[in-house]
Homo-oligomer: A and B are copies of this chain.
Amino acid sequence: MLKIGICGYGTVGQSFIEHLRVHSDKIKSNISEEYEISLIADRSIDKKEHDKDIAVTKDAMEMALNPAIDIIIELMGGIDIPYKLITSAIKNKKHVVTANKALIAEHGDEIFQLAEKYNVYFGFEASVAGAIPIIQTLTNNMSNENITSVTGIINGTCNYILDQMSSNSLEFSDALNEAKKLGYAEADPTFDINGMDAAHKISILASLIYKVKSPLKNTHIEGIENITTMDIEFSRELGYSIKHVGITSKVNNLIQCRVHPVLVHKDNILSQVLGVMNALLVTGDKFGTSMLYGNGAGGDATASAVVANLVEAINFSCNRDMRNKSIFKNSGSHSYDVMKNDDIISPFYLRIYALDISGVMAEITNILAKEDISIEAVTQHEPTDSDSPIPIVMITNNVSGSSINKSINKIELLAHVEGKVHAIRVLKTDDK
């Protein structure tokens, strides 16, 4: 009888217990050993409803040292305490399942090595894109060839806000308030909006796929704070929607790992990922392009991924499924460089405010031409009055970040151009 301990008894923890209760028959048909929930650790467990047959504690660290516990389910959040908990648990030969993306992005390198050294199961399916089985798929069916790139809509809050700005013409702040009201954004949504949450997730995938140390510190991170309803409308006119994505790819030992808004063409299936949904487009050199789509958050969806890991952990502990070992073999061993944003080539969307005076367009295109930048599409509306600046929007050919920045600096100096030029990368098909 395997004894399971749960650390953190919030929404996911409660959904997890409920899932085990409702679907115990299905779960049992996938394992060959009995299990039970033996202990729940939660700081405020005395204020929460729980099954009185399960022992409780307020001290998570008690779990890590408790010799009766075989498998720990960490659902606390935060970094410091889970780090201590999980590393001690592994050293005490306990199997661990976690949904904690920040922890793995920061300390995954060490935890992966510990899991291998102490021969325990370590599952983190729920840490990236909730219910989407991306870890399972990347480490199994997709692990027998080169993964050339992953492009993911991996922050539901950002996707919901951009989708609302697009479909209901809301301004950013109104869409954010709407997201908070519906529980799609946290009270403090900073890490969602500024891209840090997506950066954690894409770093985890990069280190997993490419067997490199977490590239989090070298990840280019932009959020969605600067996207305006106007950008969304102009993009739509040109056949694109704006999505916030994480991208990782590898050519030789040069890795891309970046998080920022992109224009996605309407024929690209990622453009159809609406609301809070998540999706990951993965390209392999043999299977071609695949996409996994689903709920990236929510108690039941996240708990579903945790349950899948628990089943793996149980099967690992009784030698029925030892695949987890392969994940950590050579983890972090490949040396690599992270490609600088300046060197990354893509088309760009540019929005320029200029006075409606003849010659301005020529000045702008001359500056671009000097950097070998050509214009693939342009849109400009009639001015409401001749004294106000009007937005000129264009999409360029494939150019490097440094070329576009040089040009932007020059364009911003033009007498008839006002304010900052707004640049957003366009997702290339072969750059997914």
Contact = CB atoms under 8 A, between A and B. Distances in A.
Interface of A: 15, 19, 22-23, 26-27, 29-30, 125, 131-133, 136-137, 140-146, 267, 269, 271-274, 279, 284, 286-295, 298, 300-301, 303-305, 307-308, 311, 315, 319-323, 326, 329-330
Given A267-B274, A288-B300, A320-B322, 16 more contacts: A15-B286, A22-B145, A26-B144, A29-B143, A136-B140, A140-B311, A142-B308, A145-B307, A269-B274, A271-B272, A272-B272, A287-B304, A288-B298, A289-B294, A290-B292, A290-B295
Nearest to A308: B141
Contacts of A269: 269, 272-274, 293
Nearest to A136: B141
Output the residue of A29, A140, A141 with the most chain B CB within 10 A.
Answer: A141
Contacts of A142: 133, 308
Contacts of A288: 131, 294-295, 298, 300-301
B305 A141 contact: yes
A386 B353 CA distance: 54
Contact of A136 (B137, B284, B319): B137
A294 B287 contact: yes
Nearest to A130: B287
| Pairs of residues from A and B, 4 with the lowest C-beta to C-beta distance, nearest first | A290-B294, A131-B287, A133-B141, A272-B272
Copy number of this protein in the oligomer? 2
Contacts of A145: 19, 22-23, 26, 304, 307
A318 to B, nearest CB: 10
A363 B133 CA distance: 52
A284 B308 CA distance: 13
A269 B144 CA distance: 28
Contacts of A273: 269
A143 B326 CA distance: 22
12 contacts: A30-B326, A125-B141, A133-B137, A133-B142, A145-B304, A269-B293, A287-B301, A288-B298, A288-B300, A288-B301, A291-B292, A320-B323
A137 B137 CA distance: 8
B274 A307 contact: no
A293 to B, nearest CB: 4
Contacts of A323: 30, 315, 320-321
A137 B273 CA distance: 20
A280 B131 CA distance: 15
The residue among A125, A144, A305 with the most chain B CB atoms within 10 A of its own CB is A144
A5 to B, nearest CB: 19
A291 B125 CA distance: 17
A243 to B, nearest CB: 13
A389 B330 CA distance: 71
A15 B330 CA distance: 28
Nearest to A323: B321
Contact of A133 (B131, B140, B274): B140
A272 to B, nearest CB: 4
B311 A286 contact: no
Nearest to A26: B144
Contacts of A19: 144-145, 286
A321 to B, nearest CB: 5
Contact of A304 (B29, B286, B291): B286
Contacts of A143: 26, 29-30
